[in-house]
Structure formats: C-alpha cells, structure tokens
Amino acid sequence: MRILHTADWHLGKLLKGVDRTPEVAQALEELLEIVKKERVDLVLVAGDLFDRPQVSVEAEEAAWRFFLGLYELKVPALVIAGNHDSRERLEVHGRVLERFGVVVRGEARFRKEGGVVDHPVRAGLLPFLSERRILDFQDGELGEWRGQYAEKMEKLLRHLTQEEELLLAHLTVEGVKAGGGEFEFYLSNSYAIPRQALPKLPRYIALGHIHRQAQVAENAWYSGSLIQLDFGEGEEVPRGALLVELPERGPARVFPVPGPWGKPLRTFRLRPEELDRRHEELRRFGGYIRLLVEGYLAPEVKERLYQDLPGLLDIQPLQTKGLEAPVEVLEDEVEAYRRYLQGAGREKEALLERFRQVLMEVEGAPF
C-alpha cells in the first residue's frame, strides 16, 4: 500500500494582510498530481486544514477541490481536525465528504464510537484535544483519569492503537523543533507528550501540528506544512509531504516529498547604512521579506521601502547590540489570561477556550 501523508495546510492564512490561500491551493493541485503519478492508495490529512474556524469561500473551495480530485482518482482519505480547525464545521463537512470516500473526524471519539475505522486499512483517528476538552473523557469508556495532559493523552493513544495499522494524531511531541508559524501556546510543556508515549503498535503514525518535516520515533513522522507559513526558522526548514510505503510485512518506508511550493519568506537583518547597497538584492528577491533594522528609521524611509520593495511585508527595529534575533515584546495573550484564571480560581469554567476561540476568529490572528 502506498500512502500520502500531509498536514497543516492552513488554508485562509493571512500574513501581514496577504492571503496565502492561492499558494496553498496550488500546492494541493501539485499533491493531486503526485497521488496520480505515484499511484497512491490512501491519503492522510493530519489536521489544520484551515487557519482559523471561519475562513473565506476560496479557502474552503480549495479543500473541496482537493477531495473531489481524490474521488475522481478513486483514492480514499482519512482526515482529522487540528487546533486551528473548527471541529463542528469539519464534522458537518465529513457527513458529505463520506459519500466521496473521505472519512473526517472533527471530534475525538472512543474506539466503539468511530475513533477507529477500516478505510481501507484499520486506523486510529485522534484530532487535537485541548486540556479542557480531554477532561470530557474522564467519565467515559476509559474510566476516571488523573494526572497531567501527557498521561491522559498516552492512555488515549493506547486505547486507539490496539491492533491498528495506522494512527493519525494532531499533537506536540517533546523536543521537536518548530518550523515557523505554529501557535507557541500549543507547543508548551503542558501540551507536549514524551516520545515514549507514542504507541509502538501502529506501523505508521501520521502526525500534524509541527510545520517542520521530522521523524520523531521509528514509526512516527510529522509531514510539515505545505508552504512556509510565517517568518521563523527560515526557508531551509524541510516541509512538504511524505510518501509512505506499507509492505505486507515489516516497517513502513518513508520518502519525503519536498515540494517547492509557495513563495519563500526571509528575514533580512541590516543596518540603515546597508539599505541602499542591498536594495537591488531585496527588490529581486522573489518572496516575502521581513526587515530587522538596527537603529532608527524615519517614517518617510519606511514608506519608500514599502513602495520600492513589492515583497516587503514588515519592518521592525532590531533592539539588540548586535544582529541577533529581535527582542519579543508581546506577551502571549492566551497564557496571560490563563494565569489570571488560575489566580482567580476560575480555570475550570471553560473561559480560556472561549477566549482562545475569539482570538482565532479575529482576522489575521496567527493561530
């Protein structure tokens, strides 16, 4: 069996007001060509199809075109929700997409409730679970759960992988490096599970959430995002998709598919006196640019740069003595509100999740 593993499309992504949807849509068209050329038997989409709960019609159309393209190729798919997706909307979409050979899970379920499917191979499906939502399982099939997030997730993972060939999950594994554009709150220790918590029974674990392509266990991989979504680790970070061969016996064989999709993003760290000398280099760069400038730039100079450099999206002062990374001045709003709720003894009132959803619905929110 030949499998294509993809994740973290983030359709609807806005970067400094620029809609990245056309770039992702083009990458999805390229994926369809790979599915056809490589004679893929099954496609796995491990979450974060969309960048926020409410996206444009164009973003939803790109996803539908991809799944309808798979239907025309007679290739089934398994899909789970990520932390950026609307669980409810994906569940509704899934009721229709099931007619086209696509099984979708927006909500986490137990084995007997659809958490394990046979389509066409037996697979466990685990969409993203927040700390609050994982408590919904405490009175369920697994009995009362005590302990931290990682312990509860490990128990759920074992529950979904007793005899399954595959596992799809949207989560953070301890020690994995970010690829740029991830929501840092969900990469924190409270949301990370140790590598040894990943079950050894599935022959392949398709992970989503981290935008860097990486192997995190003998049988577990992150496919990475299709395009570079934000200024972060840089364009050298591996990303794209994974082609997985599942032989009748033995371990899966994994082959990275490094698609050169989307425009590159690059951060240039310069001194004001270097701007004129490197102006032509910046103008010819074919992607999006963030400028970190050491020292003061007059407003009229900034305006001229934005007019002259079509790819320039952001100019920030470099507030360091050298040319190191800029100092972060903004506190994570969600983490700040979380600490407030804990101090007020109100952390169990589901206010944090509501606050997070409001932030995600704000246009351009980087979640």
pLDDT given for residue 36 in this prediction: 98
8 Å CB contact between 224 and 178: no
Which pair of tokens denotes residue 30? 């390229």
For every residue of 329-354, DSSP letters joined together read ----HHHHHHHHHHHTT-TTSSHHHH
Q: Quickly count: other Cβ atoms within 10 Å of residue 159's Cβ.
A: 19
pLDDT given for residue 178 in this prediction: 74
* Residue spans of beta strands (DSSP E) within the chain: 2-6, 14-15, 18-19, 42-46, 77-80, 102-105, 116-118, 122-126, 166-170, 172-173, 192-193, 204-208, 214-217, 220-222, 241-245, 253-257, 265-270, 288-293, 312-317
Which residues are bridge partners to 244 per DSSP? 3, 254
pLDDT given for residue 349 in this prediction: 54
pLDDT given for residue 297 in this prediction: 86
pLDDT given for residue 146 in this prediction: 41
211-220 pLDDT, tens digit each? 999 999 999 9
pLDDT given for residue 57 in this prediction: 96
pLDDT given for residue 182 in this prediction: 61
Low-confidence ranges of the chain (pLDDT < 50): 138-147, 185, 321-331, 363-367
Residue 118, SS3? Answer: strand
Q: What predicted TM-score, i.e. pTM, was given to this entire model?
A: 0.83
CA dihedral 212, 84, 129, 3 (to 10 degrees): -50
| Of the candidates 133, 239, 143, 236, the residue with the CA atom closest to the CA atom of residue 191 | 133
